[in-house]
Amino acid sequence: MSFLGNARLANFETDLSLTGYDYNAVLSAFYISYILLEIPANIACKWVGPGWFLPLCTIGFGICSLCNAFVQNIHSASAVRFLLGAFEAGLLPGLSYYLSRWYRRSELVFRISLFVVAAPLAGAFGGLLSSAILKLPHFGSLHSWRIIFAIEGLVTIAVGLVSLFALTDRPETARWLSQDEKALAIARVQSERIGVTEVLEQMNFTRVVRGIVNPSTIAVSIIFLLNNITVQGLSIFAPTIIKTIYPQHSIISQQLYTAPLYVSGAAMTMIISFMSWKSDQRLVFVLVCAPFMVCGYVMFLATTNPHTRYAATFLIAAGAFPFGALCNAQVAVNVISDTAQASAIATNVMFGNLGGLVSTWSYLTFDAPNYHIGNGLNLASSSTIIIITVLLRFWMDLDNRRRNLLNVDAGLASHTRQQIRELDWRHPAFRWRP
């Protein structure tokens, strides 16, 4: 998404004759397919197998990115963005689900962060790369912002092709592991599956629903929705915001100004995720990060001083980007079965992209240059995150105390073995993990 923001500074709108809210409409086309296909895509990932599904989605995304270089108007641009969303729908939840096949719950957040950190790094390199690319006179017959998309697409296709041969579905099929190592990897994950006899069970509707209607999944998904209003808005509009802060600077200079704030987001993502892994806590770190965003947007609303506003973008990025790892790990650790994990993660990312859809309409041209509406919306969403997180943590502690009083054997006495396997978080021995 960040490359579109960079392209906007390089006359993307002018070249496609976009006026009024056309740019926002192009952005929205991406999220429509992304949201609609999120859960079906992750179910397909489990059914097909991540080793094939994720590389094919990557290749499809790369082809669509390349097509961005050849769009001529709002219609072709929107169509390509719609297809981009369709292929990306399976990537973030699919990768999170894939890692849940390999790692224990406490380890998951840091492992997810190792690819989630690619988002702020892509923003950083996007600014640097765009600045370098825009100095090229042409790339074949392509010029200006079209070169950005062409190079992005070709690199993505290459990565997808390599991953077709490098990625394996699960520990049992990993060619680089010995039999003892495979058995250990399976046993480590199996040890946390209460009431389940296999790591990768057959998919059924009950298990899918258990992941979606899980109270932790719903609450965390709302948190991720609110966070993505900021994260996706930053990815899309950071170059535009920088332009309002330093309007006299050149386009290349404005592109370069976006890079450091993404680096701060990447650094914070790794630090927070590492601390979360070692402490086996996630919600407490949500409460650590959210105030950074609150402070950043208060600074934006309180002053028009360019240096203060630029400093605020660092706080916002540092607070916003760690949520990708924290939220996906939080929903994954509070379900049991492999199928429930797939649907829970997909639900979380689907809600997150509802926030992304909202973000495409958060910074509108009539609100420039100070964007009081957009900054106010983000201040409200980041403040609400704090309230929901506190309430969720309080409810988890309360429900765990209730579960401690239950007689597990008596609670399972009237259930068949199949019903016990499908209880998931409703199993009386299950405890919420904040």
Q: Give the type of residue at 173.
A: T
Give the residue carrying structure tokens 């179910």: 43
CB 195 within 8 Å of CB 306: no
Helical spans, DSSP H, in 280-371: 283-302, 306-320, 323-333, 338-359
**pLDDT at residue 75, as a whole number:** 93
Cα–Cα distance measured from residue 327 to residue 216, given in angstroms and rounded to the nearest whole number? 10
Q: Is 142 helix (H, G, I), strand (E, B) or coil?
A: strand
Point out which residues pair with 142 in neighbouring strands. 139
**374: number of Cβ within 10 Å:** 22
Under 8 Å CB-to-CB from 230, ≥6 apart: which residues? 293, 316, 320, 359, 378, 381, 382
Work out the angle at residue 349's Cα, subtended by the Cα atoms of residues 346 and 353, and round it to the nearest 5 degrees: 135
Q: How far is CA 53 from CA 86, 101, 329, 349, 391, in A?
A: 13, 15, 21, 17, 37
> For 12-42, how does the pLDDT look when each residue is reduced to its tens digit (9 = 90+)?
888 888 888 898 888 889 889 988 998 899 8
Encoded tokens for 260: 């450091």
Domain coordinates in residue numbering, the chain: 2-174+189-426
Q: How many CA atoms lie within 13 A of 284 on its CB side?
A: 9
Q: What is the pLDDT along the chain (434 residues), one digit of tens a residue?
A: 456 766 776 778 888 888 888 988 888 898 899 889 988 998 888 888 888 999 999 999 999 999 988 999 999 999 999 999 999 888 888 888 888 888 888 888 898 888 888 777 776 666 666 666 666 676 767 777 788 888 888 989 999 999 988 888 888 888 888 888 888 888 888 777 665 555 566 777 888 899 999 999 999 999 999 999 998 888 777 777 888 888 878 777 776 787 788 888 899 999 999 999 999 999 999 999 999 999 999 998 999 898 898 999 999 999 999 999 999 999 999 998 888 888 999 999 999 989 988 988 888 878 888 889 989 999 999 999 999 999 999 999 999 999 999 888 887 888 887 787 778 888 888 899 99
Does a cis peptide bond (omega within 30 degrees of 0) precede residue 322? no
**394: number of Cβ within 10 Å:** 11
CB 16 within 8 Å of CB 74: yes
**pLDDT at residue 142, as a whole number:** 77
Q: Is 139 helix (H, G, I), strand (E, B) or coil?
A: strand
Q: Is 57 exposed, middle or buried (0-12, 13-18, 19+ CB in 10 A)?
A: buried
Give the residue carrying structure tokens 């995720």: 273
Where is 48: in which H helix or E strand?
A: helix 22-48
Under 8 Å CB-to-CB from 115, ≥6 apart: which residues? 95
CB 4 within 8 Å of CB 236: yes
Cα–Cα distance measured from residue 430 to residue 423, given in angstroms and rounded to the nearest whole number? 10
Encoded tokens for 396: 């988890």
Point out which residues pair with 139 in neighbouring strands. 142
Encoded tokens for 46: 């489990």
Superfamily assignment of 2-174+189-426 in CATH?
A: MFS general substrate transporter like domains (1.20.1250.20)
Cα–Cα distance measured from residue 282 to residue 382, given in angstroms and rounded to the nearest whole number? 17
Give the residue carrying structure tokens 């900054």: 375
Give the residue carrying structure tokens 């994990």: 341
**pLDDT at residue 124, as a whole number:** 66
Pick from 354, 377, 254, 382: which is nearest to 306 by CA? 254
Helical spans, DSSP H, in 136-250: 145-166, 179-190, 205-212, 215-245
Pick from 357, 51, 40, 382: which is nearest to 212 by CA? 40
Cα–Cα distance measured from residue 316 to residue 338, given in angstroms and rounded to the nearest whole number? 34
Give the residue carrying structure tokens 């490359």: 3
**211-247 burial: b if 16+ Cβ within 10 Å, else e:** bbebebbbbbbbbbbbbbbbbbbbbbbbbbbbbbbee
